[in-house]
Amino acid sequence: MHVSKFWRELPQRYRLEGKRCSQCGKVCFPPRDICPICNSNQMTSVTLPKSGKIITYTVMHTVPSHFEIFKPYIIALVQLEDGTHITTQLTDCKPENITLGMDVEAVIRKINEDGRDGIIYYSYKFRPVLKNLKKNTDKKPILQYDSV
């Protein structure tokens, strides 16, 4: 991954920033400069909701070499609270715990690194919201996460 490309994509990677068409209202994520529906170039930045539901998903067993450390991982199509669909990697869960319609939320996680001493890249991933996880029956504190 080129560092300059990654820096250009920081707003979408860290804040889920997309673009909304001022003409027809279509929201695009990743952001686009031209609306795919009406061809307008009147696109304004919009920060998308950080939660939604799983529409569908697949488990990736054969992956590109730079994603080997995450294998197997889950790719899901998520419908955000505003109706926008995004494709995302799921984290903090196993495939057998995923159900269609499950509530998920955005978190920031490592996505890649340039070699052992190189830059570590972070971006959004989604995870099941904590209320959906198995009940903590042995009375130990439930792990808390920072929200995005």
Binding site for Zn ion (CB under 5 A): 21, 23-24, 26, 35, 37-38, 40
Question: Among residues 26, 60, 57, 62, which one has the least CA distance to residue 44?
Answer: 26
In terms of CB distance, is 21 or 104 closer to Zn ion?
21
Smallest distance, Zn ion to C-beta of residue 62, A: 37
In terms of CB distance, is 10 or 38 closer to Zn ion?
38
Smallest distance, Zn ion to C-beta of residue 80, A: 18
Please list the residues that pair with 3 across neighbouring strands: none
In terms of CB distance, is 22 or 136 closer to Zn ion?
22
DSSP for 91-130 reads -SS-GGG--TT-EEEEEEEEEEESSTTSPEEEEEEEEE-G
